[in-house]
C-alpha cells in the first residue's frame, strides 16, 4: 500500500488562441465599468490634453466624463433633437457638434451655452470637426453637402456638392490645414483642399462608408464600409494597399492607437478587432454584449471606451503595477530566509532534498482501497474544473488495466447510469478519448441491455448515444472516401523527377532487393536491371497501380454502402468486374523493345 502510484493523467495540447505580446498587452485591462446612457452612443472623443476627459454623444446630450469618473462632470443639453459627433479642438478648450435639425454648435468647455451656432445645412449633420489651424470647422450632412466654416465670424467659407448620398463620416489632416476627407453612402471617399473648388481625389470603397481615419503620417487612409476595412495610399493617388474582411456584419467605427502601430475596428457583430499596421493581421479581439457604434482610445492606450446601440458605455482602464513601499526597514532575518531561493545547483554540488509528502486525490484514495465504483463516481460527479474529462478517462483506463472496469460500471441505479451516459454523449466523438469511451459504451450496453425499457430517461440517452455514433460513422466514411479520391488524384498528378544519366546501374538491382517477391515478376526484374534512364516508364506503372488501388478502395466503400440497402444490391459477378475496373490510360506499360530503344538512345 505504501508504494501506491497515483493515476497518471495524460496531458493533451491545449486548443485555443496563441498567447502573444499583443494578447498580454490588450488583456491587461481591469474589469470594465458600464454606464447607461439615454440613447445609442454614436460618438466618443478624447481630449488631446491632460487630464484626457472624453466627450460622449448620445441622444440629445453630450456628456463630459473624467478619466476615472462614473458620473459626467459636465453636460451640454441645448439640443432639440439627436446630437452627433462631438469633437474636441487640438487645445481641448472648444467642442463642436452636429445635430439632427441641421445646425452646428460650438461650445466652450468651461461654460454651458453655445458660443456659436452655424446654420446652412438642411438635414442632419453627422460630421463636424476642426481643421488643424483651429479656426475653421468642416461639416458633412445628409443633404449630400460638405461645408467649411469660419469660427470667428460664424460664416460659411465654401460648400462642396460632389457626393450623391448622405455624408456620414470625415476627418481633417493633422499636417495640412487645408486638407480634409469625407465618406458617403454613395460608396465614395473624397479628399478636398479648401483652396480649390472641387475635390482633389476620389476613392471608390465599394460599400456605404461608415467611418474613416488618416494615419499620423498623413500618407495612408483607412476606410470602413460594409464588412470591409480598406487601407489606401493617398500619396500614390488613392491606390488600394489591403482589404480586410474579418467582421461578420457592418463595420461602424475605426480608431488608431497613439503610436499608430495598431488599428481598431468596431462592428455590429459585437466585436472589436485589433490589427497590426505592419502585417494587417488580427492580433487580438474583444467581444461585447451588444452591437458597437463607436470606440475611442485614450493617449498611451490607458483607457478603451466603447459605445453600443443599447446605450451602454463600456470603459476599460489599464492595470498598473503597484509599487509596495514599506515604512520600516526589513530585518536581516528576512534576507537570510530567502537566501539561496533562486540558486541553481551546479554539477559538483550535493543536493539535499526534503522529502515531500504527496497528497492523493479523492479518486486515488478510493482506488488505493479498491473501491472502484466509488472512484468512478468521484470523477463523474465533480465539476468540469476540478475533474476535467482527461481525469475521468484516465481513471477508466486504470480500471481497464486492472480488469475491474466491468465491476465499476455494473450495479448502478437510474441516476448514476444517467450521469455516465451523459459523459459518453458529450465526449465519445472526441478523438482523444474515443478508444477508451467506445470500449466503455460496449460494456454498458452488454450489462444494461436486459433492463432497457424500464426507464424513459435512460432509453432516451441510449437513443441519443446511438444517433451520435451513427453520425460519426457516416462522417468517418465520407472522410475515408475523400481520402481515397485524394490518393488517386495525387498519384496520377505526381510529376516525374529527373534522374541523372550518370547514376549507377546497380541502383536497379538494389531496388530489386528491397521489394517483395510477391509484387515483382520476372519481367519486372529485367526492367529494374536496366539503366536508370528507363526508370520513368517504371515509375509511370507504379503511379498507375496506386491510382487503381485508390479507385478500387472508393468502389468498395460504395458497395459497402449499397449492401446496407437490399434494393441497390447487385450480383457478385458484376461486383467483381466493377472492383477490377477498366485499365487506366496511365497504366499502359511500354513494350520491352521500346524500353531497350530508349536505353540505346
Cis bond leading into 51, ω under 30°? yes
Residue 4 confidence class, pLDDT cut points 50, 70, 90: confident
Query: Residue 304: what pLDDT?
Result: 94
Q: Indicate if the pLDDT at residue 517 is higher than 50.
A: no
* Residue bearing the bigger pLDDT, 561 or 584: 561
Q: What does the DSSP 8-state code read for residue 301?
A: G
| Residue appearing with cell numbers 467642442 | 95
Q: Residue 286: which region, alpha, beta or left (left: phi > 0; alpha: psi -120 to 50)?
A: beta
258-262: average pLDDT: 90
* Residue bearing the bigger pLDDT, 494 or 322: 494
Kindly report which listed range (167-176, 313-322, 335-344, 570-579) carries the lowest average pLDDT score. Answer: 570-579
Q: Indicate if the pLDDT at residue 325 is higher than 60.
A: no
Query: Residue 490: what pLDDT?
Result: 86
Quick: pLDDT tens for 78-105: 888 999 999 999 999 999 999 999 999 9
Helix/strand/coil for 205: coil
Tell me phi and psi for residue 130, to 5 degrees. -85, 140
Kindly report which listed range (23-32, 393-402, 497-506, 577-586) carries the lowest average pLDDT score. Answer: 577-586
% of the chain at pLDDT higher than 70: 77
Neighbours of 3 (CB within 10 A): 4
Q: How far apart are CA 203 and CA 416, in angstroms?
A: 67
Tell me phi and psi for residue 575, to 5 degrees. -65, -40
Query: Residue 561: what pLDDT?
Result: 55
Quick: pLDDT tens for 41-68: 999 999 999 889 999 999 999 999 998 8
Kindly report which listed range (156-160, 323-327, 413-417, 593-597) carries the lowest average pLDDT score. Answer: 593-597
Burial 169-180, CB ≥16 within 10 A → b, else e: bbbbbeeebbbb
Nearest Cα to 393, choosing from 7, 6, 13, 16?
A: 7
Neighbours of 558 (CB within 10 A): 13
Kindly report which listed range (13-27, 46-60, 337-351) carries the lowest average pLDDT score. Answer: 337-351
Q: Indicate if the pLDDT at residue 110 is higher than 90.
A: no
Label the pairing between strands 179-184 and 188-193: antiparallel
* Mean predicted lDDT score pLDDT of the chain: 81
Neighbours of 293 (CB within 10 A): 23
Q: Indicate if the pLDDT at residue 579 is higher than 50.
A: no
Amino acid at each position: 500500500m505504501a508504494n501506491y502510484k497515483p493515476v497518471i493523467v495524460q496531458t493533451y495540447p491545449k486548443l485555443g488562441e496563441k498567447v502573444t505580446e499583443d494578447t498580454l498587452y490588450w488583456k491587461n485591462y481591469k474589469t470594465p465599468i458600464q454606464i447607461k446612457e439615454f440613447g445609442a452612443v454614436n460618438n466618443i472623443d478624447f481630449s488631446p490634453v491632460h487630464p484626457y476627459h472624453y466627450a460622449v454623444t448620445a441622444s440629445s446630450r453630450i456628456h463630459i466624463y473624467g478619466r476615472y469618473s462614473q458620473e459626467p462632470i459636465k453636460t451640454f443639453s441645448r439640443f432639440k433633437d439627436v446630437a452627433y459627433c462631438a469633437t474636441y479642438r487640438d487645445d481641448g478648450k472648444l467642442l463642436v457638434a452636429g445635430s439632427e435639425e441641421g445646425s452646428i454648435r460650438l461650445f466652450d468647455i468651461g461654460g454651458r451655452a453655445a458660443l456659436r451656432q452655424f446654420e446652412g445645412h438642411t438635414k442632419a449633420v453627422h460630421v463636424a470637426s476642426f481643421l488643424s489651424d483651429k479656426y475653421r470647422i468642416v461639416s458633412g450632412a445628409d443633404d449630400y453637402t460638405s461645408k467649411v466654416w469660419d469660427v470667428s465670424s460664424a460664416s460659411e467659407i465654401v460648400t462642396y456638392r460632389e457626393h450623391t448620398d448622405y455624408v456620414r463620416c470625415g476627418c481633417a489632416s493633422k499636417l495640412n490645414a487645408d486638407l480634409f476627407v469625407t465618406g458617403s453612402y454613395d460608396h465614395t471617399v473624397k479628399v478636398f483642399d479648401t483652396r480649390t473648388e472641387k475635390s482633389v481625389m476620389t476613392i471608390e470603397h465599394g460599400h456605404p462608408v461608415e467611418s474613416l481615419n488618416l494615419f499620423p503620417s498623413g500618407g495612408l487612409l483607412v476606410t470602413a464600409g460594409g464588412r470591409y476595412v480598406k487601407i489606401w495610399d493617398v500619396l500614390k493617388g488613392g491606390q488600394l494597399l489591403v482589404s480586410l474582411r474579418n467582421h461578420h456584419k457592418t463595420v461602424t467605427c475605426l480608431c488608431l492607437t497613439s503610436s499608430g502601430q495598431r488599428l481598431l475596428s468596431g462592428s455590429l457583430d459585437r466585436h472589436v478587432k485589433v490589427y497590426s499596421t505592419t502585417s494587417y493581421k488580427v492580433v487580438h479581439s474583444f467581444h461585447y454584449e451588444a452591437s458597437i457604434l463607436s470606440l475611442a482610445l485614450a493617449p498611451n492606450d490607458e483607457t478603451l471606451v466603447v459605445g453600443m446601440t443599447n446605450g451602454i458605455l463600456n470603459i476599460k482602464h489599464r492595470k498598473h503595477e503597484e509599487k509596495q513601499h514599506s515604512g520600516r526597514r526589513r530585518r536581516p532575518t528576512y534576507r537570510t530566509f530567502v537566501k539561496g531561493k533562486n540558486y541553481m545547483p551546479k554539477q559538483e554540488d550535493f543536493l539535499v532534498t526534503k522529502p515531500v509528502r504527496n497528497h492523493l486525490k479523492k479518486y486515488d484514495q478510493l482506488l488505493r482501497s479498491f473501491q472502484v465504483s466509488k472512484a468512478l463516481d468521484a470523477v463523474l460527479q465533480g465539476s468540469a474544473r476540478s475533474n476535467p474529462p482527461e481525469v475521468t478517462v484516465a481513471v477508466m483506463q486504470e480500471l481497464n488495466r486492472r480488469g475491474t472496469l466491468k465491476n465499476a460500471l455494473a450495479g448502478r441505479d437510474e441516476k448514476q447510469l444517467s450521469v455516465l451516459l451523459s459523459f459518453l454523449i458529450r465526449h465519445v466523438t472526441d478523438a482523444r478519448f474515443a478508444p477508451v469511451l467506445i470500449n466503455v459504451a460496449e460494456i454498458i450496453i452488454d450489462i444494461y441491455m436486459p433492463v432497457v425499457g424500464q426507464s424513459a430517461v435512460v432509453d432516451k440517452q441510449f437513443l441519443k448515444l446511438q444517433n451520435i455514433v451513427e453520425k460519426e460513422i457516416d462522417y468517418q466514411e465520407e472522410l475515408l472516401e475523400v481520402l481515397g479520391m485524394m490518393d488517386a488524384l495525387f498519384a496520377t498528378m505526381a510529376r516525374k523527377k529527373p534522374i541523372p544519366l550518370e547514376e549507377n546501374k546497380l541502383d536497379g538491382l538494389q531496388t530489386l532487393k528491397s521489394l517483395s517477391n510477391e509484387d515483382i515478376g520476372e519481367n519486372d526484374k529485367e526492367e529494374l536491371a536496366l539503366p536508370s534512364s528507363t526508370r520513368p516508364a517504371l515509375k509511370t506503372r507504379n503511379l498507375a497501380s496506386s491510382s487503381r488501388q485508390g479507385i478500387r478502395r472508393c468502389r468498395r466503400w460504395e458497395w459497402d454502402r449499397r449492401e446496407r440497402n437490399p434494393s441497390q444490391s447487385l450480383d457478385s459477378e458484376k461486383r467483381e468486374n466493377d472492383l477490377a475496373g477498366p485499365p487506366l490510360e496511365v497504366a499502359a506499360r511500354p513494350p520491352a523493345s521500346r524500353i531497350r530503344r530508349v536505353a540505346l538512345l
